[in-house]
A and B are shown apart, each in its own frame.
Chain A
Amino acid sequence: MSSMNHDQGSAGDKYWRSLDHLADTPEFQAIVQREFPEHASEMTHPITRRNFLSLMGASLAFAGLAGCRRPVEKIIPYVVKPEEIVPGVAQRFATAMPFGTTAYGLVVTTHEGRPTKVDGHPGHPGSLGAAHAFMQASILDLYDPDRSKTVLKEGKESSWPDFVSAWRDLYAAYIKDQGAGLAVLSGSFVSPTLARLKAEFLKAFPRARWATYEPVSDENIYEGLRLATGATLQPVYRYDRANVILSLESDFLYTGTDSISAARGFSDGRRIKTEQDSMNRLYVAESTFTVTGSAADHRLRLPGSHVAALALAVARALTAEGAVVEGMSGVDVPSGIALEHEWIQAVARDLVRARGAGIIVAGYQQPPEVHALVYAMNRALQNEGSTIIYREIKDAALPNRSDLAALVNDMNSANVTSLVILGGNPAYDAPADLNFEAALSNVRTAIHFSTHADETSRLCLWHVPQSHFLESWGDVRAADGTLSVVQPMVDPLFGAHSSIELLSLLTTGTEVSGYESVRATWSLYLKAANFEHDWRRVLHDGLLADSALPAVSPKVNGAAIAGALKALMAAVSLPGLDNMEIVFRPSASTFDGRYANNGWLQELPDPITKVAWDNVALISATTAKELKLSQGLRDGQNHQPMLRLQYQGREIDMPIWIQPGQADYTVTVALGYGRRAAGRIGDGVGVNTYALRTSTAPYFDGGLRVARLDRTYPIASVQDHGGLETETLASNEIARRAPTVLREASLEQYRKNPDFASNDVVLPGFKGLKDKDGKPVSIYDAHAYDKGYQWGMSIDLNACIGCNACTVACQSENNIPVVGKEQVLMGREMHWIRLDRYYKGSVDEPDVAFQPVACQHCENAPCEQVCPVAATVHDKEGLNVMVYNRCVGTRYCANNCPYKVRRFNFLEFNPGTSGFMQEDSPEILKLVRNPDVTVRMRGVMEKCTYCVQRISSARIAAKKEGREIRDGEVVTACQQTCPTQAIVFGNLNDPESRVARIKQANRDYELLAELNVRPRTSYLARLRNPNPDLEQPVAG
C-alpha cells in the first residue's frame, strides 16, 4: 500500500498545540476528552438512530484532532494518474479475515483506494468465494465512527509516542527480572507471525504469563480430541462426501467454525437435478432451533445437558449394529432420561449403512467428553480419513478458560504488575464468577489494546487503538492450515496499530512495522532466492498454494474417554420448572459482542426468531404455558413479558420469546448484548447475559430459576411477531398458505410426483388458450421479451439455509441504510432481500424452511401500472427498474406489489440526501458506500435492482471487447455471497445459460404464479429426505 505511514495521533496533537494556550484550558481539555460533543454521552436511548445521526456531524468538527485522514507529508492529486488506478473502476485485492482459530479468504473491492465491499475468495478453502454475514459486515466496522482514535492514558488523550516511551521504561524493568509480574491476555489466533512473536515474547520474558481467552470458541472440541487422542487436532469436515450426518447440537452451517465450507459441502450433498438423484440426510439433536436444525430431515429437541446421554445411546446402538465404539466400557446411559430409542436406532442403522460416508459432529458448546466420544464413533464408522480429516494445529494460540482463571488468580494475589490485554474485552465477556473487573483493579499497569475504547479500556491505565484487519499487515491459517497474508486495503483510518506491531514493541521495545514483521516470518515459507516474486504471488493469490497442513492419524485412548464420560453421566439431571436449563449461545448478529456497534448486523434479524436489535430469552410453548406466559402482541408490536433469570446467585431480567421447537424447561439466551461502551449503535442494546455465565458451565447448565416480572419490553421482529401463532385466524391461514408459498416434498414424494411443485398452479385467463411458453393468453399484446439479454434468477430452496448472508451482502452492495429499532418496530426495515421463515407442523416439533424474497421483476409488474409518474418501468431486458429521480413517493407501487418487496424511505434514512438537514451527515459512514449505486433520499421508493450496476459494468466490459456478456459474468451480490450457491442469475434468452437450464427443472415454480404477474425470479422447490424408518410425513 501507499507510504502514508504518518502518525495520526501526533499530527492531531501538533495541530492543536500550535493554537498555543487554547489546548491547555480545562474547558478545551474537557471537550477533547469527551471525544463527542455535548450531550453525546447523555443520549438516553442510543439506538435511536436519529439521535445518533444528529450527533455525527458535530463529532466531525473534532475530527481534525485525531481522525483526519489527510496525509500530512504528501498529497498527490490525480493530476498524474497512478498507473494501476482508473478513477471509477473498482480494484479487487485478496486478503483474509482472521476469525477465532480459522480464517476466511477475502476479495475486497476498493474504489480509488477506499475499500467498499468484502466478498469471499473463490480459491480459499475457508470461504470458497462466499462470505457469511459477519464477513460482509466487517467493512462497516472499518468505518465505524466510534473506533478509538487516540491512545488514552487514565482515560485522557495521550499519544502513541507517549505510550512507546512508557513501555520502554517498563520493558527495561521487566527484561531485568525475566518478565516476572508481566502477563498477556490475548484472544485466540492462528497466525505464523503472531505465533513467532508470542514465542519471542515468552523467550524475552520467560517468567511472564500468557493466557488466551475467547468467550465463544472451539476450546471444548480441542479438549475433547486431546482427551481422546492425546494430540491437539483440528477436525476438517468434508460434508460433500457425507450421506448421513448426525449433529449433536452442532450448528455447523451457521455459527460453527468454517461454516461456509460446511454449508457448501452440505448443500452440494443435497443438490438434486432430477428425481433420479439422491441426497444426504441430516439428523440434528439440539435444544434451541438453529439454522442447522432447520435444515434437518429429522430434528430431535432435548436439553443440551442430555446430548451427552444421547451420544452415548447412539454409540451403544452403533456398537449393537456392528460398529464397535471404543471408550464406553462401564459407562451407562443415565436412567430417568427419556431418550427416543426409535430415533436413536434409526440414526444408528443409517450411520452404519453409510459407513465411511457419514459424519457425527458435536457442537462446541458440548463438553469435551462428548467430543471425545464423537471422535470414537466416527472412528468406529470409518468416517475418519474419508469425511473427517484431522490436522495438526500450528502457529496458534488456542483459547483456554483455565489459563484465564489462573491469570485472574495471579491478578488477585497481586502477582501481576503489568497486564497487556491484546484484543478482546474481558471486562465485558469474561466469566462472571472470575470477577475480572475486580482482579484488574489489582494490576498496576493494565494496557488494553482494542479497536474501541470499551468496557475494559475504561478500567485500564492505557488504551491503545487497534487497527482493523483491512488496514493492517498480518497472516493467518485457515482451518486446514492454508496460509494467507492479510494485506491492508487502506492506511489505518484513525492511526491505529496492528497486534503484530504492538507485540513487536512489547517483545523488543522498538517499533517494527507490521509489514516487516510479516515478511520476516514469511522468509520461512518462501525461498529467499525468489522471495519478492513469490511474496507478490501470495499477495495476489491471497494464499500460499499447497500450504494446507497434512492429515494425521491419531490413536484413540478408550479408557480416558470412558473415565471422563462416567463422571459426566453422573452429573446429568432432569430439568423442570424449578431446575431449568440455561443455554448460552453467540448472537447471530453481534456474535460474542464484538459486532455490537455494527448497524448492519444489529438490524439483521435472527435467522429463526426474526428479532432484530435485541436478545431474548427463548422458551418453549409448553414451558411458557406452565409459566403462564404468552407472546405480548399488542397493536402489531411485541411488548414481551419480562422474566427474571436467577442462576448461581446472579440474576438478569430479560424479555421472553416463545420459540417453537425449543426444548422444554430450557432458556436460551444470546451473548453479545447489553454493551455499555460499544459505541452509539451498540450501547444498551439488549441484555448482557455474560452476567450469568460462569467459567465452569459456559454454554449450558441446570439450576436456573425464573420468575415472571410485571413489566414488558418492546421487541422488534420483522416477521410474524412470533405472536401470530397466538392469533388463531392468522396462524391457520399461514399454515394453509405456507405449503403453496414455500413448496416442498419429501424425496419419496418427489419421485412419485416429479411435477409436484408446479402442479397446483391455476392461472386465470382463457381456458385452454396458451401461448408458446404455455402461459395463458392475455387480451393485450404482451411485450415479447425475446431479444437481447433477458435477465432472470433462480433460487434453490433446497440449498438455502437461511443464513442471512445475502441480506447483508445486498445491504453493502446497494447502500441500504440502517433504520434503527424504532423503525423496525414499525415495520420499516429496508432490506432489499429478506429471508422469510415458515414454521410447519406443531409448535413443539415444527419444521422450519426459509425463502429469500427480493423483487421478482415481474413481466406484468403490478407496481408499474399504478405509478402516476412512471417512476417504475420495465426495461427491454426485463428488469423492473426504479427511477429514484422520478419518484414522488405515493407508495402505490408498494401497496400493489404482491410480494411486498418494495422499501420506502419514510424518513431521511441517508442524512443529507434531501438537501436540507445537511448537518446530520456522518462523513465517515459515507466512505462505506458503493459509488456505483445511488444513495436514495427520503420520500422515494427503492427495491432490488438485480444489481443493475453489475450488469452495466459487465456490459461495458463486453462492449469494449466487442462480444456478448458471457454466462456467469454478471453475478448479483446475493448470489456471490451465498455460501450454498442457492442463487443463480443470468440471461434467460440464452438456452445454454445456467439459469435457463435450471429453470427447466421440474422443481421450478414461480411464487404466486396464479396472479399471472410473470416473475423473472423463480424457485426450486425444497426437498427433505426423511428416514423411512422414522415415519414423519412432511406437511404439504
Chain B
Amino acid sequence: MVVVVVPLVLSFLLFWIYPIAAAFVNSFTDWQGFVGTRPFVGLENYARAAADPIFRQSLLNTFVFVAISLPTGIASALVLALLVNAAGRMKEIFRVIYFLPVVSSTIATAFVWRYLFQPQLGIFNQILQFLHLPAQRWLLSPDQALACVALYAIWQGLGYTMVLFMAGLTTIDSSYYDAAKVDGAGKWQVFRKVTLPLLRPTFAFVLVTNVINGLQIFAPIYVMTASGMTSGESPPGGPANSTMVIVVYQWLMAFRELQLGYGAAMGVILLFIILALTLLQLRWLRTRWDY
C-alpha cells in the first residue's frame, strides 16, 4: 500500500497544497515574470487592488453577474423541474433536451452564442427585425454585454440545476402531499407549505454551488468578449471593462502583464469572498429555515 500512497500524498502536497500556500506567500511579493525574483512588499498588492478602479469594477461586475444570473436561473430551473417532473411519458426526453448544454463544451457553445448576438448576422437581431423592434448592439454595448453573458450562463446551467431539483423532488414522500390534500390545501398552498420547505437541502446546495461557480466565471467571457482570441488586439472584459470580472482581470494581470504577485493577491481575495459568502449563506439558510 505504501508504494501507492506515498507518491499520491507527495504529488498532492506538491501540486495542490504547495501552490495554495505559495499563492498566499506570493501575494505579499512583487513577483514579476515566472523566472523573476520575488521581493517582499507586504500588503502592497492588496492596497493596490483596493485602489485599482478596474479591479473595483471587476468586483462589482462579478456581483452584478451573480445577481442577474442566479435568481433567474434558480427560479426557472425550479419551475422547469416541477413541469418536467409532471410530463409523464415525455419526462425523459425533456430532461435530455434541457440537459444538453451542461454536457457541451463551454468554449463551443459560447462561440455559438457570440454568433447569435452578432449585430448584423446574428439571429437575435434578425428576430427583433422580424418583430419590427429596433436592433440591439448586445455584446458590443457596455450596457448590455454583461446581461448577455448572464443569459448565456443561465442557458448553460439551467439543466444542471433542474436535475438537482428533480432529484430533490423525488425525495419528498408522497404522504406529505396526501396529508395536505386531506387538509384541503390548494395547489399553491401545497407548493409553498410542503414542496418548498422540503426542498431546503437542495436549495442550500444549489445556492452555494451556483454562487461559487458564478463568482468564478471565466471561459464564456473570454470567448464572447475578446476580439483577437490569442495575441489579441482587444482583451476580454470589454467593451469598456463592462464584462471585466475578477478571474478575467486576474488572468490578464498574471498571464499578459506578468504581474504575478498582484494576480496571486486577487486569487486570495477571491478565496475570502467565496468563503465569506458561503458561510453567510449557510447561516442564513439555517436561521431562515430551522425551527
Q: Do A and B come from one complex?
A: no
Residues of chain A touching chain B, judged by Cβ–Cβ distance below 8 Å, are: none
